[in-house]
Chains A and B, each alone.
Chain A
């Protein structure tokens, strides 16, 4: 029997509960300046709706993209404020004092649910710019969407122990280390964006399966539209997510697909 037929049969017959499209909360979306130029917000909104993306945590370099998309799809977009205007600043923004003024200006003007996704490794967190950014988030009780390593994560919690942190890409850490971080920080969640190690050809990795079952309320999925063309991967990513999630118990799959993100937003 062909590989394709086997895959289709496995999907259709083993997981009837997923015959209907599982809604997705995409927790890692960017609509940055170059994407805005190439794909209008109405088209982006159409892509999200067609993919069955119920909600999306959107941050952009610069923030105008997020605001445009919010206007086009207010029922989907959960706005987050990225602290830098260009992706090329991911390694330098923490040394740029102008970032603080930019954050103040945007936070005064618009409503956000998170600050991020921001890139910071190790003691980047201790720089005055990052410390001021965390202070601004703390004042407004905003989620921190952090892309970085465990050392930086530890320093964020040392700075603000009650922070709600969404660990972008789960730090690209192996499942055991992700589990340890989740155990250490009960107010931390993990996004699985741009990771493919959870499943191999739609077969769930047993190490990840154990962690998902141990922490079913702490994970969420995300596409990471880091280049403009990747908007056209949102649909494929949603299907990929549904395929591997279908191997988990229905309730766990629904939590990871969208409920955990909603719960994270509702947590005070």
Chain B
């Protein structure tokens, strides 16, 4: 009996040791602190005060139906979902969007949008409903007019839904109806959130001090996270719970569109924003306090804006290829290779000083990609 007890205890001790070895968290205390800043997730989401139907279930339902209905385009040619395809994480899977013709930029994923300060690769808008109007009116996309949208909301299949939310379209200006339609579309898009990931579970376990739970996060992903926070300098721009600082940077990606044409990025975006009547300091915002308007009021154009693009979120990044503003990088391996071998000749000596070749080993690159993949729901 005693012998049996001894053997059992020995086996238990071995199992415990093996478990402890597996339970190793390889992050330093400083890295753990940085990791905690990338959560918690999902973030608490308050309704958008500039949009009086934000969070309104009736508006969300109408927005969802309109999003997928080509009725919002001039001739029924396309809907929002033609490019922002729900079964492809609201992207298109193509390097550059295909509207009525090949467009200039990659279709961005419509995920976790409530957390954004600026919208679109160039930050043309400071709110989601204003951004939503742009493709509806753009001649190379849905090519519609406010007058047509008003006619549709007066007499079309959505007239009663519209009336219940906003009153009779017939009594409103075309511009007001267009803005209201955009607000229902925004209400729907705000609901498109990514879920909890293995990274989030790791991060939450670290916060609780639960080393055993943290240990289930693969060692390769932990090594990748260390690179993300340290040598790779990724976290300077891909910061916070949504893995973006929401601002605009030169990532060393060329922005020629063809002979004599360039994508001016934030430079062009600011021109649109600052001339827009739909910004948060304008009359179409429903927020009496204009609480988000400080950004548009205080943003200052600079020479560095030219050719910079908004830092994308990395949540669900593994499922939203291809990458960069022009979709020029096909997969995450290509993205890591781009930053690893970045062409500093393209960058101003006093500009994006964070970016320089990283000299990552093959193992480093693999680890970084493993970490990035862990930012997708699983």
Binding site for B on A (CB under 8 A): 2-4, 34, 38-39, 43, 86-88, 90, 119, 147, 169, 172, 194-196, 200-201, 224, 226-230, 232-233, 236-237, 240
Task: Check B307–A230 contact: CB distance below 8 A.
Answer: yes
Residue pair B300, A200 in contact (C-beta under 8 Å): yes
Query: Which of chain B's residues have a CB closer than 8 A to the CB of A88?
Result: 344-345
CB closest residue in chain B, given A223: B303
In Å, the complex CA distance between A90 and B304 comes to: 20
B255 nearest CB neighbor, chain A only: A229
Q: Contacts A3-B275, A4-B274, A43-B260; is A87 near B306 (CB within 8 Å)?
A: no
B300: nearest chain-A partner, CB-CB: A200
B303 and A194 form a contact (CB under 8 A):
yes
The answer to whether the Cβ of B302 comes within 8 Å of any Cβ in the partner chain is yes
A3 to B297, CA, bound (A): 10
CA separation between A194 and B303, bound complex, in Å? 6
Evaluate whether A38 and B256 lie within 8 angstroms (CB atoms) in the complex, with A200-B300, A233-B306 already known: yes
Q: CB < 8 Å: which of B306, B344, B347, B351 contacts A236?
A: B306
A230 to B300 CA separation, bound complex (whole angstroms): 19
Among B346-367, those with CB < 8 Å from A are 346-351
Assess the B267–A233 pair: CB atoms within 8 A: yes
Beyond A194-B351, A229-B306, 18 extra complex contacts between A and B, CB < 8 Å: A2-B277, A4-B274, A34-B345, A86-B345, A88-B344, A194-B348, A195-B303, A196-B303, A201-B300, A201-B301, A227-B345, A229-B254, A229-B307, A230-B307, A232-B261, A233-B264, A233-B303, A240-B303
Task: Give the 4 A-B CB pairs with smallest separation, nearest first.
Answer: A196-B302, A87-B345, A4-B275, A229-B262
Main secondary structure of the interface of A (DSSP, over half): helix
Q: Which residues of A contact B348 (CB under 8 A)?
A: 194, 224, 226-227
* Most chain B CB within a 10 A radius of its CB, from A38, A224, A227, A232: A227
By the criterion CB–CB under 8 Å, are A196 and B300 in contact? yes
Find the B residue at minimum CB distance from A119: B349
The tally of CB-CB contacts under 8 A between chains A and B is 67
- Which residues of chain B from 208 to 265 have a CB within 8 Å of any chain A CB? 254-256, 260-262, 264
**Contact at A232–B262, with CB atoms within 8 Å?**
yes
Q: Which residues of B contact A86 (CB under 8 A)?
A: 345
Q: Are A196 and B345 in contact (CB under 8 A)?
A: no
Considering the complex, give the chain A residue whose CB is closest to the CB of B257.
A229
Once bound together, how far apart are the Cα atoms of A227 and B349, in whole Å? 11
**Nearest Cβ in chain A — how far from B345, in angstroms?**
4
Are A194 and B350 in contact (CB-based, < 8 A)?
yes
| 17 sampled A-B residue pairs with Cβ under 8 A | A2-B277, A34-B345, A86-B345, A90-B349, A147-B349, A195-B303, A196-B301, A196-B302, A200-B300, A227-B307, A229-B254, A229-B256, A229-B262, A229-B306, A229-B307, A230-B306, A233-B267
For residue A118, give the distance in angstroms from its CB to the closest CB of chain B.
11
Closest chain B CB from A264 CB (angstroms): 22
Q: Which residues of A contact B254 (CB under 8 A)?
A: 228-229
Residue of A nearest to B306 (CB): A233
B262 touches A169 (CB 8 A): no
Q: How far is the CA of A49 from the CA of B216 in the complex (A)?
A: 64
* Nearest CB in chain B to that of A88: its residue: B345
A209 to B277, CA, bound (A): 32
Q: Least Cβ distance of B254 to chain A in Å?
A: 7
Are the C-beta atoms of A196 and B304 separated by less than 8 Å?
yes
CB-nearest residue of chain B relative to A202? B301
Chain A residues in 8 Å Cβ range of B307: 227, 229-230
- Complex interface bits, B266-282 against A, C-beta within 8 A gives 1, otherwise 0: 01000000110100000
- Report the Cα distance A34→B344, complex, angstroms: 13
Task: Tell whether, in the assembled complex, residue A227 and residue B275 are in contact, meaning their CB atoms are under 8 Å apart.
Answer: no
CA distance A133 to B236 in the complex (A): 39
Inter-chain CA distance A43–B344, complex, in Å, is: 25
B115 → A minimal CB distance (Å) = 26
Q: In the bound complex, what is the Cα–Cα distance between A233 and B348 (angstroms)?
A: 14
How far, in Å, is A164 (CB) from chain B's closest CB?
23
State the Cβ distance, A153 to closest chain B Cβ, in Å. 16
The interface residues of chain A lying within 8 Å CB-to-CB of B351 are 194
A191 to B107, CA, bound (A): 40
Bound: A194/B350 CA distance, A: 9
In the complex, what residues of B have CB within 8 A of residue A2's CB?
A: 275, 277
